Structure 1
Amino acid sequence: MNAEEAAALLAHCSGFDNRQPSLAAAKSWAAALHDVPFDEDARAAVASYYTTPPQNPNERLWILPHHVRTLRTKIRNARLENFQYEPVPDETVGEYLARLRGQVKAIASGNATAPTGRLALEGGPSKKFQAELEARGWEVGRPVADTDEEAVQAELIDTVRRSGPLGIECPTCHAAIGKPCKTPGGTSKQPLGKTRTKPHSARLRVANGESELTPEQRAAEEHRRREASARYLAQHPEEIPDAEIVDEEAAS
């Protein structure tokens, strides 16, 4: 941009801010914008600057050369958002660079039509990576939900289908699929009504494909747990709450 072109650009600015262009201002703007051509994008940059209101309503907008440079670059970059290079067979590196610069310049200047659609990713995961995903209960290639409601439903389906103890209903506490186990009794680590940090043993066995315990085995397991509870209470008598004596006659 030379001084004459800068003067024309300043005259365009004066239509917005009523400035009084001068020869000194034109030379200064030409020096600051020596590598920026005076084209429609430069004029559009000025219009874009005055289209946006200032942060302070009492502040007066006053465009400067760096505003023209920045906004002109944004206008041109917006046309290149979906740009994809169109190669030719057997081109050399020099031909590639020349063609690339030519295509970028043509689209950025608006002389060529910019692509309208976004590029779609093609291909898929490797067989090894796909096997790892499927081993963890994920379905490869499933459709992606378009709405939040569909996404929640898909998440619930994934939760139900996942492998492990939570993928089945607990035979002991009957916790639903995807829900953690609960304990019927209360301890310092697992109070009544709280979820268990680990699933019940029966749930783990079923998830691992092991057979369920026989009635004799269940009775032995229950007996073992009762003895363990009795030993714990014997070692910690202070945790046993005092019994509350109720006078039945007074209560009646």
Structure 2
Amino acid sequence: MTPADAAEVLALCAAFDLRTIGEADARAWAYALRDVPLDDDTRRAVADHYGVTEKRATPADVRRIRARIREARIGAAHPVYNGNPAETGAQFTERRRAQLAAAADGHLPPRSITQALDAAPPAAVLALTAGVGRSVDDEPRPYITPEQRSAVRATLPNQRAAMPALAVACPVETCRAAPRRLCKRGAGIELRITVHGRRRDAHAVQFATCPECGAGPGQHCNAPEPHPARIRATSVEDDEAEQHRIARLMSAPPVPRENRARHTAGGMRP
């Protein structure tokens, strides 16, 4: 900055604070700002200073505010220098400084980090995000078809398929497990490999025809309890049909459990 440039800066300051300007003032400001050019950023620094305070501007104020203006442009542009494997350290420094200066001067437009790195998501990811979200009125679909579920289940331990009685609710007073829910013992522990006998009987009455008395599905035997042959008939039913039935049951949403809020200090409340 020359004394003439400094005189222009001081004239701009005088328009705000009504200071008097002399040749000595211009020379002193020119020396203090000898490495700062007179440009729009310098003029904006003066205006920004008097936009927030009534104190007289000093060369230090002009330098600090001008640097903040230029740093904001660099941060908005996110300049990325890819470099050149064949360049020297001096060349890298020179080119990087030139890039930062261009960003500070406003020659690089503001852009996001993704744009600066040219890291747009792949087309496959964009195609997936286009399908995210649906109306709450849409009918939810199962993840896989019953046939696919049966094929997968055939490769797993056949615990659920070996308990077809889970299709009905447990009639035991201390259990009352809903369909598709495991039976529980008195301490609330789930029975994972068996069910209560009365639930097994209820399943036989619901789905099997009794070979002894001829009672059809849904009809009770002519005895206080289902005949053993009727219970055996349900245990030897066709494996493929059983897997399809369990797959359909598992694809339906389960009965929601009752939620209870917990106090932060401990205990339960309804």
TM-score (norm 2): 0.42
Question: Which one has a bigger Cα radius of gyration?
Answer: 2
